[in-house]
Amino acid sequence: MSMNFMGYRRSNGTVGIRNYVVIIPSVFCANSTVEAIADQVEGVVALRHPVGCTQIGLDFEITARTLIAMGNHPNVAAVVVVGLGCERFTPDELYEGIKASGKPVVKFVIQEEGGTANTIKKGVAAAKEFVKLASKMKRVECDLSELMVATKCGGTDATSGLAANPAVGEACDLLIAEGGSAILSELNELISTEEMLARRAVNEEVAKKVYSAVYEIEEVLRSKIDERYPGRNELISPGNFTGGVTTIVEKALGGVHKSGTSPIVDVLEYSTSPQPGQKGLFLMKYESQDGEVVTGMIGCGAQLVAFTTGRGNPTGFPFVPVIKVTGNQFTYKSMQENFDFYAGDIISEGMPVEIKGKQLLEMMIRVANGELTTAEKIGGDELFVIARR
Amino acid sequence: MLRKSLVVNPKDSVAMVLENASKGDRIQTPRGEITLLEDVEFAHKVAIVDIEEKEPIYKYGEEIGFAKTAIPKGTWIHGHNTGCDRGTQKR
C-alpha cells in the first residue's frame, strides 16, 4: 500500500485533502446572504449556523474559536467572511483570526455595504476570484503523518463495538504507526473506561487530564438529573439495555475500541489544535451529539472523519469527507448508498480485524486523494453544528 | 438447536448470541458447548462459565460488572443479575 497521499499544502504548513472556498457568516443574521453568494458560485460552500449574537463567556469563546478554526481548516482554500455589523462576535475578529494563518480571506459587512444586494454582489465577485485561485492549486505528495482522522460512533447497535469500531481502531493504529493522528471524543460514552484510557496516557500529567476530562463530562450530565439516579448506568439511554448492553462499562468498551490501542498523547479542548509537532492519538473533551462533536474534532484539525453506525446514518460535513462504516449486514444491505465501508464480515465470516483495519486505512488514503464518500455524493452537510455551553 | 454466538476475547466469561435463541438451544464457545438455561435475544449475553456471586464478569477482556448472585453457565446475563460500580468508588 502506498503510504503517501496527494494533498493541498497550505502556506502555514498544514495539509488539506479537499480544496473548498468557504463562505462563513460571523453571525446567523448573515445566513441568507451567505447562501445567496454560495448559490451563485460553483464550488463554494456556505456554513449556515444559528449563533454569533449576544453570547457570553465560554459559549461565546466556543463559537469564536470554532468559526476561526473552520476558516483556518486545511481543507479550505480561501474564505469569504460575511458579517452584519452589530454582532458580539465581530466580523473583524473572524477575519483577523483567519488572516493570521496566511489564508486568502476577504470580509464584507452588510451594514457597511448598504444592505443585502450590495453584499451579495461583492461576495459573489470575491468568491469567483477565490475559486479561480483555488482551481490553480495542485495536489502534492504528502506523508501520512500529515493526516488526522476524527472518530465518531452514531446510531450505535450491538455490531458497532464488535466490528465497525474495532476496524476503525485498527486503521487508527496503522495511521498512527505511520506518524499520523486520530481523535477520540464522546466522553459521555467512555465513562467507566477512564482507568483504561489513563493507562494509555503518555505520562502522568496526561493521565490526570484524562481522568478530569471524563469526570467533567460526567458532572455535565449529572447536573441534568437528580439524586434518584446515583449510578453511572442511568447516564446512558434505555435503548442500550434493550439492545443487549448490560452496563455503562460494556457500552464504553465497545466505543473505546474505535481509538485502537495507541498511547494517548494529549487531551484537547473543543476546536483547539494540538501543540505544534504533536502527533498520535488525542482525546477531545466533549459529549456525543453527532454534529457538535464532529465539528469540534474538525476544529482540532481533522481532515477526515471515520463514522461508525449500526443503524445507518446519511449525514456529512460541508468540507470534510465522512467515511461511513458499519458492522451490521442487514443495515448495509438496506442502506448501501449511505455506506463506504462494510466491516460485518468480522462477525459473520470471522474476518480478522487486522485485515479490515488495513483495508479501511487504504480507503482513507483513497478518500484523502480525492475519492468522494457517499455523504459527499449526496451533499450531506448536517454535521456542521457549533457546540453551546 | 445450535445457535450462532461470539466470544470477543479469550478472557471473557460471556458469549453474545447472534440470533434469537430459546431455552435448550446450544452455542459453541472456546470453553466448550453451552446449553442455554433460558431464552436469550439477539445481541444479549450468556454466561459461558459458572460465575460465583460477586465475581467479575468479563467481556472484551475487561470487567463489565460483577455477579449479583451465583450465575451458572448458560444463564442470560443482564441487569437483573449484574451489578456495576466500576470507576465510581475512585472519585
Q: Of the candidates A283, A271, A263, which has an alpha carbon nearest to the alpha carbon of residue A202? A: A263
Report which residue type is found at B14: V
Residues A194, A71 share a domain: no
What are the b/e assignments for A97-124, b being 16+ CB within 10 Å? Answer: bbbebebbbbbbbbeebeeeeebbebbb
Query: Closest partner residue to A195 among B59, B78, B87, by Cβ?
Result: B87
Chain A residue nearest residue B41, CA to CA: A244
SS3 A287: coil
CA A83/CA A33 separation, integer angstroms = 9
Residues A278, A177 share a domain: yes
CB A60 within 8 A of CB A386: no
* Chain A residue numbers touching B42 (CB-CB < 8 A): 158, 244
Q: Using the beta-carbon criterion (under 8 Å), do B62 and A253 form an inter-chain contact?
A: yes
Per-residue confidence (pLDDT) for residue A348, from 0 to 100? 86
* Chain B residue numbers touching A347 (CB-CB < 8 A): 6, 18
CB B14 within 8 A of CB B48: yes
Q: Using the beta-carbon criterion (under 8 Å), do A232 and B59 form an inter-chain contact?
A: no
* Chain A residue numbers touching B47 (CB-CB < 8 A): none
> How many C-beta atoms surround the C-beta of residue A216 within 10 A?
11
Residue B88, pLDDT above cutoff 70 = no
- Determine the structural domain holding residue A51 and report its residue range: 20-136
Residues A277, A172 share a domain: yes
Asked if B37 is an interface residue toward chain A (Cβ–Cβ < 8 A), one would say no
DSSP A146-200: G-EEEEEE-S--TTIIIIIHHHHHHHHHHHHHTT-EEEE--GGGGTT-HHHHHHT
Residues of chain A with pLDDT under 50: none
CA A386/CA A293 separation, integer angstroms = 9
Asked if B65 is an interface residue toward chain A (Cβ–Cβ < 8 A), one would say yes
CA A375/CA A337 separation, integer angstroms = 9
CA A172/CA A34 separation, integer angstroms = 36
Q: Is residue A106 part of a domain?
A: yes
Q: Using the beta-carbon criterion (under 8 Å), do B60 and A254 form an inter-chain contact?
A: yes
Inter-chain contacts counted by CB atoms under 8 A, chains A and B: 71
Per-residue confidence (pLDDT) for residue B87, from 0 to 100? 66
Query: Closest partner residue to B87 among A192, A246, A257, by Cβ?
Result: A192
Placement of cell 503517501 in the chain: A4
CA B59/CA B9 separation, integer angstroms = 7
Domain B2-90 has CATH 1.10.3720.10: no
- Sorted by where each begins, the domain ranges of chain B are 2-90
Residues A309, A262 share a domain: yes
Q: Is residue A117 part of a domain?
A: yes
CB A165 within 8 A of CB A255: yes
Residues A112, A163 share a domain: no
Domain final position from A80, A101, A136: A136
DSSP A201: B
Q: Is residue A386 part of a domain?
A: no
Task: Summarize pLDDT for A131-143 with one digit per residue, the tens.
Answer: 999 999 999 999 9
* Chain B residue numbers touching A251 (CB-CB < 8 A): none
Per-residue confidence (pLDDT) for residue A295, from 0 to 100? 98
CA A138/CA A321 separation, integer angstroms = 19
CB A184 within 8 A of CB A282: yes
- How much is the average pLDDT of B14-18? 94
Residues A174, A300 share a domain: yes
Name every residue whose Cβ is closer than 8 Å to that of residue A131 and which is 6 or more positions away in sequence. Answer: A21, A41, A42, A43, A44
Residue B91, pLDDT above cutoff 60 = no
Residue A268 or B86, more confident: A268
What is the count of structural domains for chain A?
Answer: 2
